[in-house]
Structures are given as C-alpha cells and as structure tokens.
C-alpha cells in the first residue's frame, strides 16, 4: 500500500481491495493475540462475546469507515476535513496515528518472535518434548540480544516495503499466500483435533462458562474485535477511498470480517486441543502460541516443512498488517506536515524502534501499549466514527454512498439505527464498565 494517500490510483480488482483490507486485518491478531487473550479470559464465554462484538460493532464500524473514505476520496484526515470542515473531527485521525505508533511498537516485537521461529524451524531446533519447547521460548525471551535484533529487522522490512511502493506486488502475493496460510491452519486443525485429549480443548473454546464473564473480560473481547479487524483508527477508511463506486461496501465489510473471524477461530481450534493434549495451561499469556504450535508440528509427518512454511507465512501476514500501520503514520506526516514520504518513513521507523525496544525490555510497557491502543483508543475511535456517520453526515448522503453500486440495500435502516443509537452507547458502556467507571 505504499502509495496510499499520496495518489489516487485504485486497486486493480475487486478482490484486490478485499485482499488488501483482509491483509491488514489478518495477522498476529488472529493467530497470536486471539488465542492468548481468549486463554487468559476464560475460553468459550470470551469467544461468544467476541463474536457478538464482531457482528454488532465490527461490521457497522467497518462499513462506516469504508464509506467515509470512499465518499471523501481521501485518507482519513483529509476525509474528515473535507466532509466536515471547520470542526475538529480529524482528531479521530490523530488518535489513529497515536494508536498506530503504539500498536506498531509491540506488534514488531511479536513479529520478531515469529522471525526467530522461522530461524529455529529452518535449523530444526523446534524439536523435543513439550518441556523442551517451553524452554526454547523462555530462554529466547531471556536473551539480551536476539529479541531486539529481530524486532528491528522486522521494522526495517516494513519500512522497505512501504518505501518501495510495491502495492501491486503486495496485492499479487497476498492473493496467493493468505489462502495458503488458511490451508496450513486447516491442516493444523485436523492434526490437533486427532490428538488424544483434544475434546477438552474444544470444550474450553466452544462451551461458554458464563461465570467467567466480567467487565474486563467483555472489554478484552471488544478490544480484540477492534484490533483484529483493524478498525477504529482510519486504516480501513483509507482503503475505502480506493474502492470503486461500483462495489458494495456492506458486502466488503461482511466478507473481510467473516474471513478474519474464521481465521481466528480456526487458529483457536488448532491451539486449544493441543494445549490440553499436552497438559498445558490455556491462560499462560503472550507466549501461548509459540509454546504450543511446535508440539503439533513435532507430531506431524512433514512437520519440519510445515513449521517453516507456517512461520514464514505468519511473518508475511504480520507484514501486510504492519505496512498498513506504518502507512497511516506516513500518510499523516507527509500530507499534514508536507514531509517527504522517505523522511516520514525513516523518522517513524526510528521512533518506533525506540518504543519497540521499550516493549522488549519491559512487559509492563508492552501490556500497557497493547491495552491502551486496543481497549481504549480503537473503541473510542470507533464511537467517533459511527457518530460521524450517524449525526454529522446527511442520511441521504450515507444511503447514496452505500447504494452507489446501483442496488438499493434492504439493511439500510438497521445499519443506520445501529450506527446512531446502539453502537455508540453500547461501545461506551462496555468501555466504561470495563475500566471500572460504571
Ligand atoms: N488487525 C491486525 C491483526 O489482527 O494482526 C493488527 C492491526 C493492523 C491493528 C492494523 C490495527 C491496524 F490498524
């Protein structure tokens, strides 16, 4: 997406935009963050809340973002400025930039772990008992050098892609590679489901225990929904500005959200049966996926090859997300401050490198960045986005934008009702309740 925001060439195909938006959405959020947050927050009940939030808030917020971007034909700041001049709605974009800085910082750290696992997979080091696998992760985390270096390498890779303006390249590769990642996850699922004791994992994932639900679990589920769909910060609005008028935005939002959710659930179906089969703890935090998956590969014929492919594809999925994060910041700096894109890219990379090093160094910083971006900034951004569509834009303009592909949409009234009344109130409620203010 290197030239998003600086020129107005669209995507080459309908599938191209969906692939790019899905590329931003699908990433470590689905495969690393979803399972660990679910494991920490009680399992099935969390999954249920998560699914409700995807449908009730995720799809409407994503549709709203897409329509703001497409209507204005601009990146998110320009969009708010041109749709509502003289009012400070562009601050939503500023909040998005802040969120992008924070997310990119801890995201690169986890992407760095993934790079280490590519290396370990290639060198055949991911073998041994579940205890050995556990120790591999723990000793890597205790290392004083590699976690930093991989993080910086990942940030460099992100910067180089955004710098290179390889939009078409990315579009071409995501179309092939993301389906391949999907196939690999399904293969992992099949293997995980046939492990002895797998049933307990399925029960943990799909059988909700409502006593586990409290304000912070609900807020975590909402934060995960926003994080995973990349909504609430303007990334999706920018993609929207590239979508041709002939495309149905509602359908686009539904396809991207469904694909994203499916991948997350399938990742859960691979991980939790294995967690229980190997006698591990589901609530062990950020290392979960890295400690569990190698055990499945070790039990598979061809596991060596599969593990390399998996971690390489996961790195690519992380890259298609991180470039969208970097692009938000770069578009902002280059368009609002007239900075050269090249300078914007390298100065952002430098600042994020410092922030990322702080995340490697301190779990507390890591967790605070993560919480503040996903559970605070993104939901608040989401509220402002739906309020903008519901109250600032004209109803007729919103309807016309959603129907610009030439067909009238039966769900408009429901959408409009959710956007005006349900989503803003409900998101605020979950947020305030989750942080203990209600
Ligand atoms: N949605 C990405 C993931 O699930 O990995 C993370 C992300 C990318 C969040 C871009 C927010 C964003 F703007």
Ligand 1: distance of its center to the CA of 416 in Å? Answer: 26
Q: How remote is the CA of residue 76 from the centroid of ligand 1, in Å?
A: 16
Ligand 1 binding pocket mutation candidate from 227, 238, 329 (most atoms within 8 A of CB): 227
Dump pLDDT digits (tens) for 175-210: 788 889 999 999 999 999 999 999 999 999 999 999
Cβ atoms of residues 278 and 200 within 8 Å = no
Helices (H) and strands (E) in the chain, counts: 22, 0
- Ligand 1 near 294 CB (within 6 A): no
Number of Cβ atoms within 10 Å of the Cβ of 372: 16
Q: Which of 230, 370, 379 to mutate to test the pocket of ligand 1 (most atoms within 8 A of CB)?
A: 230
pTM (2 d.p.): 0.95
pLDDT, tens only, 292-325: 999 999 999 999 999 999 999 999 999 999 999 9
What's the gap in Å between 182 CA and the centre of ligand 1? 18
322 lines ligand 1 (CB under 6 A): no
pLDDT at 169: 60
For a substitution probing ligand 1, which of 1, 22, 23, 24 has the most ligand atoms within 8 Å of its CB? 24
If you write DSSP's letter for every residue of 192-216 in order, what string do you get? Answer: HHTSTTHHHHHHHHHS--GGG--HH
Report which ligand 1 atom has the smallest distance to the Cα of 227.
9
- Could you state, in chain order, the average pLDDT of each consecutive group of 10 residues for the chain (438 residues)? 44 70 94 98 97 97 96 86 91 93 98 98 97 97 96 96 70 79 96 96 97 95 98 91 90 95 98 97 96 96 95 95 91 88 96 97 97 96 97 96 95 97 97 92
Residue closest by Cα to atom 11 of ligand 1: 230
Indicate which residue's Cα is closest to atom 9 of ligand 1.
230
Integer Cα distance of 159 and 178 in angstroms: 21
CA-nearest residue, atom 13 of ligand 1: 230
DSSP for 145-181? Answer: SHHHHHHHHHHHHHHHHHHHT-HHHHHHHHHHHHHHH
Percent helix, percent strand, percent coil in the chain, to nearest 5: 80, 0, 20
Over the range 48-57, which residues count as b (16 or more CB within 10 Å of their CB) and which as e?
Answer: ebbbbbbebb
| Structure token pair of residue 331 | 């578009």
Where along the chain do its domains lie? 14-373
Q: Measure the CA–CA gap between 261 and 52, rounded to whole angstroms.
A: 11
CATH T-level assignment (fold) for domain 14-373:
Hydantoin permease (1.10.4160)
């Amino acid at each position: 997406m290197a030239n998003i925001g600086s020129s107005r060439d669209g995507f080459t195909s309908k599938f191209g935009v969906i692939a790019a938006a899905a590329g931003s959405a699908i990433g470590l959020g689905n495969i690393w963050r979803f399972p660990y947050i679910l494991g920490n927050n009680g399992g099935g009940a969390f999954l249920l809340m998560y699914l409700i939030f995807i449908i009730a808030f995720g799809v409407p917020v994503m549709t709203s973002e897409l329509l703001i971007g497409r209507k204005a034909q601009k990146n998110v700041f320009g969009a708010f400025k041109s749709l509502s001049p003289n009012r400070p709605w562009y601050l939503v974009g500023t909040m998005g930039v802040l969120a992008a800085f924070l997310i990119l910082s801890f995201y690169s750290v986890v992407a760095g772990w993934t790079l280490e696992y590519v290396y370990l997979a290639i060198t055949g080091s991911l073998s041994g008992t579940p205890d050995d696998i556990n120790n591999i992760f723990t000793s890597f985390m205790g290392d004083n050098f590699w976690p930093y270096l991989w993080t910086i390498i990942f940030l460099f890779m992100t910067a180089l892609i955004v710098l290179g303006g390889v939009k078409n390249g990315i579009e071409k590769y995501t179309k092939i590679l993301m389906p391949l990642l999907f196939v690999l996850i399904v293969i992992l699922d099949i293997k995980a489901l046939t492990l002895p004791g797998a049933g307990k994992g399925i029960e943990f994932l799909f059988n909700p225990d409502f006593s586990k639900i409290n304000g912070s679990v609900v807020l975590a589920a909402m934060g995960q929904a926003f994080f995973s769909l990349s909504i609430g910060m303007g990334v999706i609005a920018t993609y929207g500005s590239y979508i041709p008028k002939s495309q149905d935005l509602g359908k686009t939002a539904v396809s991207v959200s469904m694909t994203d959710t499916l991948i997350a659930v399938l990742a859960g179906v691979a991980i939790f049966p294995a967690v229980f089969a190997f006698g591990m703890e589901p609530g062990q935090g950020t290392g979960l996926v890295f400690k569990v998956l190698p055990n499945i590969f070790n039990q598979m014929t061809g596991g060596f090859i599969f593990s390399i492919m998996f971690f390489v594809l996961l790195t690519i999925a992380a890259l298609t997300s991180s470039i969208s994060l970097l692009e938000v910041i770069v578009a902002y700096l280059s368009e609002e401050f007239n900075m050269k894109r090249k300078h914007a890219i390298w100065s952002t990379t430098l600042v994020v490198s410092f922030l990322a090093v702080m995340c490697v160094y301190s779990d507390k910083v890591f967790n605070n960045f993560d919480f503040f971006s996903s559970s605070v900034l993104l939901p608040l951004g989401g509220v402002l986005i739906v309020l903008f569509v519901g109250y600032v834009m004209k109803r007729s303009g919103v309807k016309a934008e959603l129907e610009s592909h030439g067909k009238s949409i039966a769900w408009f009234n429901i959408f409009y009702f959710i956007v005006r009344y349900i989503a803003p109130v409900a998101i605020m409620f979950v947020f305030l309740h989750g942080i203990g203010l209600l």
